[in-house]
Amino acid sequence: MTLAAAFAILALTACSQGESAVTSNSPVRFNANGKLKIAQFTDTHLCGENMEEYEKTLGQLCSILDTEKPDLVILTGDVMTGDINSAQMLDRFFGAIDERKIPFVSLYGNHDRERELSEWDYAKIVTGHPMSLNTMEKGYLDDIALPVLSSDGSKVSAVLYCIDSNDYSQVPQYTDYAWISQDQIAWYNGRSKAFSAANSNLPVPSYAFFHIPLKEFYDAYSKNLIAGQRKENECPGELNSGLFAAFVENNDVHGVFCGHDHDNDYVASEGGIALVYGRFSGDKTTYCNLERGIRIIELSEGDYGFRTWVRERSLAVVDDVKYEVPVDYTLRKAVSAEGKEHGMILTRYDNVGNLVDMEAQATKGESKVIEYPRLWGNFGTPNYGYTFEGYLYVPETALWNLLVQADNEAIVTVDDFTFGDQPGRGGWGLARVNLEKGFHHVKLSLKCYSDLCHIKMMWYPQGEGRYHEIRPEYWYVK
C-alpha cells in the first residue's frame, strides 16, 4: 500500500465535524528526540518552456533535501507556471521526493489551476506518487488535517492543516484573489474540536499551510515583525472570511505558513499566532528579488511554538528564529467538595495603596457572604479595595477562558494561576486556564481609584467562542 492509499484511509477515518474520536494511524510522527522537521517549498513555478530554470529548481530541491533531511515536505502552491510537458515535469519533481522516501503534501496555488493540466489531472498526478499524503475524494486535492503522532505513537501530538486557499473570486462583486470559504472554515472548526475532545479538551498544537496569505499578515508585519523581509505589498484574498478568528478562538493554530508574494519571507506575530512567508523556491520563470531557497520548520513534541529558518540555494542558513507561545496548559486539580455552600466572601479595605499588598497595608473592614462576585455602582471615596474569595465549580475538565472586567485595577488568582490588570485595559484581564472538573479556589482583588466601581467575571470553555457571566450557582464558600 502506498502512503497515498494509507492516508486515504486515514482521511476517511479521521474526525468529521462533530465526531470526537481521532485516528492514531498516521504516517507522520515525532522522532525519538521529539522533533519533526518540515521543508516548505513555495512558488516553484515550474515551466516547460524554460528547462534550464527547471533544472536549477530541481537541483535546488535535491540539494536542500539532502542537506536538511526533513521528515515531511509541504509545497504551498504555484508549483506550475508553464504549459509544455507539465505532467512529465511534475512527475520528475515529485519523484525526487519519492526517491528520498520523504512524505509530502502539495497544495494548489492560484496558478496551478490555470495551466495546461486540469484540476483533476493535476490531483491525479500528485496522489499517484507513492510518498504523497494528498487525497482527492472530491475529485480534486482535498483539504487535509494531518495528525502528527507522538514519538511513541500513542497519541496525536500535533496537527497540520493543509488548506486550499483557492485562486480567484467567483463572486461578481469581487474580481481579485479568492479567500478560504465558509465551508472550509467549518471543516477546520469541526476537526479542531474533535482533536481537542480526544486530548482531554485541550487544544492540540497545530499549524496551517496554504498559498494565499490572510489579511492579518499586514497588521502582523506592521506591529510585530520578528525576522525576514518585506519587499512587496501583501496580496491576500479580497475578503476576510474569518479563518484567523477561528484560529484565535480555537487556540490551537500557532503558526500559519503561506507563499504567493515572492518578495516576502518574513515572520511576524498577531494575536499569539506567527504569520510566516516561505522563501521563494523557484527560478527565473517569474519575478523574485530574493535569494532562492526554502523555509524549514522544526516542531518539538508538546510545544506550541516552533523554530524556523531559511536554507538558501547556496546552503547558507538565514533568519533562524524560535517562536515561543506563552501558553501554560498545566492541569489545575480540583479540591474537595466537602462543606461547601453557595456564595462568596466579600471584604472591603480602606486606604488602599498597592493592590498586591492590599491586605497588609489597609484597614480591614467587615467581611460578609454575598451571592457571587459582582459589584456595580457608586461605593464611596477613592483608594479603597475589595476582595472576593471562595470556590468556583467547574462543570467539565477543559481549557477555560476567563475574563475579569472592571473599571479599575483587578487581579484574579485561580488556584496558583494569577492574571488580570492588562496594561491600558482598565482592569480588563483575560486568561486561559486548564481546570479539572470540580471546585477551584478563586480570589479576586479590586482597587477603585474613584467612587465609581464595577466588576464581573465571565468565562467559556475552549471552542465555544463567546463569554458568558459566571452564574451565582457556580460560586461557593467553605
When mean pLDDT is compared across 142-151, 325-334, 386-395, 424-433, the lowest value belongs to 424-433
Indicate whether 341 pLDDT > 90.
Answer: yes
Indicate whether 421 pLDDT > 50.
Answer: yes
CA angle 322/328/330 to nearest 5° reads 135
- Same domain? 179 vs 246: yes
Boundary residue ending a domain (257, 292, 323): 323
Given this model, what pLDDT does residue 22 score?
A: 58
Percent of residues, the chain, with pLDDT higher than 90: 66
pTM reported for the whole predicted model: 0.88
pLDDT tens-place string over residues 272-310: 899 999 999 999 989 999 999 999 999 999 999 999 999
CATH number of the CATH domain containing 237: 3.60.21.10
The burial of 314, by beta-carbon neighbours within 10 Å (0-12 exposed, 13-18 middle, 19 or more buried), is given as exposed
Q: Which domain holds residue 208?
A: 3-323
- Same domain? 7 vs 81: yes
Given this model, what pLDDT does residue 17 score?
A: 37
- Same domain? 178 vs 206: yes
Percent of residues, the chain, with pLDDT higher than 70: 90
pLDDT tens-place string over residues 86-115: 899 999 999 999 999 999 999 999 988 877
- Same domain? 7 vs 121: yes
Indicate whether 452 pLDDT > 80.
Answer: no
Indicate whether 20 pLDDT > 50.
Answer: no
- Counting the structural domains of the chain, the total is 2
pLDDT tens-place string over residues 215-236: 999 999 999 999 999 999 999 9
Boundary residue ending a domain (323, 356, 372): 323
CATH number of the CATH domain containing 359: 2.60.120.1560
Indicate whether 328 pLDDT > 60.
Answer: yes
* pLDDT grade for 410, boundaries at 50, 70 and 90: confident
Indicate whether 264 pLDDT > 80.
Answer: yes
pLDDT tens-place string over residues 27-71: 999 999 999 999 999 999 998 888 998 999 999 999 999 999 999
